[in-house]
Amino acid sequence: MIFNRLDILTPEELERIVDTSCSMLEQAGFRFEWDFALNLMREHGCKVDMDAQMVWIPRRLVMEALEKMHPLAAPQEYPKLFWAPWIGMKFIDHKTQQPRSGTLQDCKNIINVVNHLENVSVSSTGVVPQDVDNRLPDLYMAELLFKYSEKIFTTWTFTVDTCRDIVEMALAVTGGEKELKESAIINYLAEPVSPLKLSRHSLEIIKLYGEMNQAINMGSMVQVGTTGPATLAGSVALQLAEDLASLAYLYCLGSQSPVSLGGPMQVADLKNGNCLYAPPELPLIHLGIVACAHHLGYLSGCTSGLTETNYPDFQNGWDRGMSMILLWAAGSEALGMRGQIGAGQGFSLDELALENEMGGMMMKLSQGISVNDDTLALDIIESVGIGGSYSKLDHTNKHFGEYWKPELFSHEAFEEYWANYKHLALRAHEKVERILESYSLELQIPQDVADEIDRIRDRRIERLKG
């Protein structure tokens, strides 16, 4: 297999973008909204204006950070990418199909379903629960994932206090600091505020995760036309500049955290200011940032594979397919925001089930064409000869067994399909129903560790009450 070959930028163009990103950090500067970070950057040779909270990062420091930091390891299993669910505020109600606020029970259902979708490789709670203390949803989300997820997971960390609690939960799960540092079971999306700014809470969280060597995904959210230039190359350069500023900060902290570059870049509809989820410009900027990350020796992830539609129709499949396939063919190691539907309308379990089906197809594509004596089948072609049939051969039966088999997609003939008509949306819905009816969440950690996680959560609740 020779994938990772879809390049949209020449080496010279990539160099120009990297050069521009470095110039942005040297000339435009970067705002670090925390005195600790400002002092740290000054100690490492940056020009700093404490009053304005501005840092001008020299190219030398960026290059040093790129050389010394460790890239996150690429997934080894087909389709060789992290396939991670979205986390939104709204949930598409499984019964009514109407968007509503997410609940703790939705989070549990989503974890349960993700546990049983073989192609969704990373878990999340899918939604931010709105039926808990609004200062603590991120803590409840982490608690559920630590206890019930069978897979590695990603979650939001809204506050520094929650970050401390999550690290403590991770320590309880792994058994101690040494074990946690070696296991890297939690991760953080370091999200600068575009353009060119890191808030204090992000800087503190990066420090806390960085000290424990947990994975940090450098991913700002430049929006083409509003928080970034309206030109694609300019926004890619800005995004990369923000990723590199975060990387330089992590390097100055002396962290051993594995790192990836990339992020959920966006495109604004300049007619009305709406955020667009599936314009053709989006995979282009994502392809650009992935190419830059690879050029610099780092893994990359993005949020392509989204749709503007509210229903699993042709556009939904095309929107997702075009961008996802392009990014995958270009070698992006992570595709986030799975389960999202309708211009950020909400998280839908039915959509996630459909994307799991797509993932199965991509996995088969990733395996490519096997070329060996058995698959070339020269002896068989010669023995069947001219005008013969391959239907009843052992070779045929064996290879038929290797073909991809859809669970939700239809391979029926036209008349048969319409005679037994059941829309794909309903087929996906029924699959989710089957999972929820057949499986219940089970603790994935020993009871005493789960008790410790509960204790950390309850302690925080008590503190807030106090």
Residue with structure tokens 């319409």? 418
**Cα(213)–Cα(234) distance, integer angstroms:** 32
Query: Given the rule CB under 8 A, which of 68-76, 81-89, 206-214, 371-379 is the region that contacts other proteins?
Result: 371-379
Query: Which is closer to other proteins, CB of 158 or CB of 409?
Result: 409
Facing residues of 319 across strands? none
> Which DSSP symbol is given to 330?
T
Coil, helix or strand at residue 228: strand
Q: Minimum Å distance from CB 275 to other proteins?
A: 10
CB atoms under 10 Å from CB of 388, counted, come to: 11
Q: Which is nearer to other proteins, 88 or 258 (CB)?
A: 88
CB of 430 to other proteins, least distance (A): 15
The residue (of 219 and 258) whose beta carbon lies closer to other proteins is 219
Count how many Cα atoms sit within 13 Å of the Cα of residue 152 in the half-sphere of its side chain: 14
Contacting other proteins (CB under 8 A), which of 396, 430, 444, 461?
A: 396
Please give the Cα distance from 423 to 211 (Å, whole number): 50
Paired with 123 in beta bridges are 153
Of 286, 321, 320, nearest to 300 by C-alpha is 286
Site string for other proteins, 164-203 (x = CB under 8 A): -----------------------------x-xxx------
Q: Check residue 9 and report its DSSP letter.
A: S
Cβ neighbours for 88, distance < 8 A, ≥ 6 positions apart: 102, 126, 127, 128, 340, 344, 346, 347
- Can you tell me which of 51, 77, 414, 462 binds other proteins, judged by CB under 8 A? 414
DSSP-assigned beta bridge partners for residue 223:
266
CA–CA gap between residue 146 and residue 205 (Å, rounded): 19
Q: Show Cβ contacts of residue 179 under 8 Å, excluding neighbours closer than 6 positions.
A: none
CA dist 134 and 303 (Å) reads 26
Q: Which amino acid is at 404?
A: W
Query: Out of 76, 96, 134, 391, which residue is the one contacting other proteins (CB under 8 A)?
Result: 391
Q: Which of 89, 132, 160, 361 binds other proteins (CB under 8 A)?
A: 361
Tell which one of 10, 67, 179, 454 touches other proteins (CB under 8 A): 10
Out of 51, 378, 437, 438, point to the residue binding other proteins (CB under 8 A): 378
Residues numbered 311-340 forming contacts with other proteins, rule: CB under 8 A: 311-322, 324-326, 329
Q: Which is nearer to other proteins, 170 or 432 (CB)?
A: 432
**What x/- string results for residues 211 through 230 when contact with other proteins is judged by CB under 8 A?**
--------------xxxxxx
| 13 scored as a contact of other proteins (CB under 8 A) | yes
Closest approach of other proteins to the CB of residue 255, in Å: 23
- Residues touching other proteins, count (CB under 8 A): 125
Q: Which amino acid is present at 139?
A: L
Q: Contact between 36 and other proteins (CB under 8 A)? A: no
Q: Which stretch binds other proteins (CB under 8 A): 22-30, 61-69, 168-176, 454-462?
A: 22-30
Q: Indicate the residue type of 125.
A: T
Output 180 or 287, the one with its CB closest to other proteins.
Answer: 287
Residue 28 within binding range of other proteins, rule CB under 8 A: yes
User: Distance between CA atoms of 242 and 262, rounded to whole angstroms?
Assistant: 10
**CA dihedral angle for residue 229, residue 234, residue 237, residue 241, rounded to 10 degrees:** -30
Q: Of 88-117, which residues contact other proteins (CB under 8 A)?
A: 99
Q: Give least dist CB 361 to other proteins, A.
A: 5
Instruction: Return the range that interacts with other proteins (CB under 8 A); candidates 7-15, 121-129, 206-214, 438-446.
Output: 7-15
| In the complex, minimum distance from the CB of residue 181 to other proteins, in angstroms, rounded to a whole number | 33
Please tell me whether the peptide bond between 79 and the residue prior to it is cis, using omega within 30 degrees of 0. yes
- Pick the piece of the chain touching other proteins (CB under 8 A) from 102-110, 170-178, 379-387, 440-448: 379-387
* Cβ proximity to other proteins, 76 vs 314, nearer residue: 314
Distance, in Å, from the CA atom of 242 to the CA atom of 246, rounded to the nearest integer, reads: 6
Closest CA to 263 of 298, 219, 297: 219
Binding piece for other proteins, criterion CB under 8 A, among 123-131, 132-140, 250-258, 386-394: 386-394
Cβ of residue 462: shortest distance to other proteins, in angstroms? 37
Which candidate, 89, 144, 65, places its Cα nearest to that of 112?
Answer: 144
Minimum distance between the CB of residue 4 and other proteins, rounded to whole angstroms? 10
